[in-house]
Amino acid sequence: MSSQELPSPVISLLKSAKYVHLATATKDGIPEVTLMNYHYLPSSELPSSCKASVSNKSYILLSSEKSVQYFNILQNPNVSLLLHDWTVAKSLNKQEDEAKSDLFKLLQNLNQKELSQLSATLSGKASVVKDSNDLQFFRNILLKENPEAKIYIEGDNNAIILVEITKFKVCDYQNNQTTYDL
């Protein structure tokens, strides 16, 4: 693996997960975390007009209302993103758990074992897309990927944000961790 490539399990996670947790901070370091729709974008899919287009880089494409995370990115472009495929939920009701059939419990355990149980924390530099051609190109990608999020993608009060991934950490369910600089 070259220093510019993401490992295939991370790419699979980026292509399969629906949401990402975006962490931004003000220039004073006050944090904010937001759940976001996103699209993974290797540099090969960027338009040639895009100034961010750098060979062998990976990007995350986001749309944001011009709210807290947007203004944080304008002040401080350093962001962190968390993706995971852990879908195990804690039971809120012990009696309900005990009442589940043995077959249900078996099927639930089988489904959990099929997951890769991988978490990736991506660090990067975010920039607000300003070029009108690039803006429409990216909006079209996001609308195709997340048509139900149209209200957050179109309109003058929404911005398109491109995050260049510069570093990432991968952690599995056994807490094996590996950090990579890109």
The pLDDT tens digits of the residues spanning 110-160 come to 444 444 577 889 999 999 999 888 999 999 999 998 888 899 999 889 999
Alpha helices (H) along the chain: 8-16, 68-75, 94-99, 102-114, 132-145, 150-153
Tokens encoding 92: 């809120």
User: For residue 16, what pLDDT band results from cuts at 50, 70 and 90?
Assistant: confident
Contact 49, 132 (CB under 8 A): no
Superfamily of domain 8-181, CATH level 4: Electron Transport, Fmn-binding Protein; Chain A (2.30.110.10)
| pLDDT per position as a tens digit, 56-84 | 788 999 998 898 999 999 999 999 999 88
pLDDT mean over 16-23: 89
User: For residue 22, what pLDDT band results from cuts at 50, 70 and 90?
Assistant: very high
Asked which of 12-21, 61-70, 105-114 is least confident by mean pLDDT, the reply is: 105-114
Percent of the chain with pLDDT over 90: 37
Q: Please tell me the pTM assigned to this model.
A: 0.79
Amino acid 2: pLDDT: 40
User: For residue 31, what pLDDT band results from cuts at 50, 70 and 90?
Assistant: very high
Mean pLDDT of the chain: 81
Contact 111, 89 (CB under 8 A): no
Report the distance separating Cα 83 and Cα 95, nearest Å.
32
